[in-house]
Structure formats: structure tokens, C-alpha cells
Chains A and B, each alone.
Chain A
Amino acid sequence: ETGVTQTPRHLVMGMTNKKSLKCEQHLGHNAMYWYKQSAKKPLELMFVYNFKEQTENNSVPSRFSPECPNSSHLFLHLHTLQPEDSALYLCASSQDVIGSVEAFFGQGTRLTVV
């Protein structure tokens, strides 16, 4: 148990669907992140929230829309995705946004776009 919970674990959606990924952390951390993990590629940072404010948007297409209602919850809203968006989406949290602290990851949501 890492303290970061992601739901659902698996998701299959059509290109015209709208769905949301949820992440919850019970660690009292102030920062939360979304990463995309594709096979044999480096982890791609998508979004960073610090104290509920978005501090990084790594040139992510607008079909991905994050939401952070409080420091414990993070959502990723998905709409009109493409097959190349199929990947493992990882949520992470850390105490602060400084380089020396470790990140705690959830188990991920395996997304398949058909």
C-alpha cells in the first residue's frame, strides 16, 4: 500500500467517449502529478499541481483535462482520445515540489482507446 490510490485500474474507451481517471492520496502531501507511461519510453510528465494550483502543463493536448479540487484528489478528464493515447497513466504525490523529495506512485490506470 503506497498511500496513493487510482481508479479505475483498467479502462477501455472509444474515441468519442468521455471518461475520468481518479487519484487519491492519504499521505498529507502538497503536490500531485500525472504521468503517462508508454512501453519502452521514458515516463512523460503531464501535469503538476502544488497546493491545488497547476504549476506545470507539459504541452499536453487539450483532450486531457486535469482537475484538482483539493490537495488529496486529482482527476484526469478524457475526451475524444486517439488510439496512441493508450498507455498506463500514473498518478504520484510528494510532500513538496523540490527535487530532493521522493514521489509516491499509484498503481496506475491501464487505458486502452479503441
Chain B
Amino acid sequence: AQSVTQLDSQVPVFEEAPVELRCNYSSSVSVYLFWYVQYPNQGLQLLLKYLSGSTLVESINGFEAEFNKSQTSFHLRKPSVHISDTAEYFCAVSDLGGSYIPTFGRGTSLIVHP
């Protein structure tokens, strides 16, 4: 069975500063990896995902995440955040060969200050 660890429950940053939200996973098989974002009073929305190929994946709003197999990590980064990026971010993993249901982390609250 897979598991996901999001070490930071809350990350406060100032607007236009860079940010990294950490995600580590454990699994005995190859995985698919996802980042979802939840804005206040909304459901989760897919931000980006890694299925195969290039280990660096990007979203349309400037976020990127890099799959690091040796470190079993999939950290999310943005070089310059905006107030509108304030939200809860969830990392999720699903096994290629096992359970198709993704396992979610507990979430990281990104708080962008002006």
C-alpha cells in the first residue's frame, strides 16, 4: 500500500516570493503522482500530474513539480506566488499495479501575504 507525507501543514510566504511545498511518498511499485488545489469553499481541482516521461511537469498557472524517484518525492514549486495562490494543496499517489484509488496527503495550506 502506498502512503503520502506532506511535512508542512502551513506555509506562509510574501507575494512574489518563491515557494516549495514538499511531498514524499512510499510505495513498493511504480506510481502516478498528482497535486490538487482546493480554494476556499471549493472542491479539489487537479493542478498537475506525473504519469511517465519527463520528470518535470508544469501547470498552466506557473506551478511545477519534479518527480524524484531516488528520493521518492514530488515537490511543488512556484518561482513567484500571487495572493490568488492562497489555497490548500494536496499531494496524491496511486500505484500502477495495485490500488487504482489515489492516496491523499493531509494537505499544505499556502498563505500568501501582501
Contacts and interface: CB of A to CB of B under 8 A. Distances in A.
Nearest to B47: A102
B44 A42 contact: no
Main secondary structure, interface of A, reads loop
A2 B39 CA distance: 13
B43 A56 contact: no
A41 B100 contact: no
Interface string A73-86: 00000000000000
B107 A40 contact: yes
Interface stretch (B56-64, B79-87, B89-97): B89-97
B44 A40 contact: no
Interface in B33-56: 34, 36, 41-46, 49, 51
Interface residues of B, number: 26
Nearest to B104: A43
Nearest to A106: B43
A40 to B, nearest CB: 6
Nearest to A44: B104
Interface string A1-44: 01010100000000000000000000000000100000011110
Interface of B: 4, 9, 32, 34, 36, 41-46, 49, 51, 90, 94-96, 99-107
Interface of A: 2, 4, 6, 33, 40-43, 45, 48, 56, 90, 92, 97-100, 102-103, 105-108
21 contacts: A2-B43, A2-B45, A6-B43, A40-B9, A40-B107, A41-B106, A42-B4, A42-B103, A43-B44, A43-B104, A90-B44, A92-B44, A97-B100, A98-B100, A99-B95, A100-B94, A102-B34, A103-B44, A105-B36, A105-B45, A107-B43
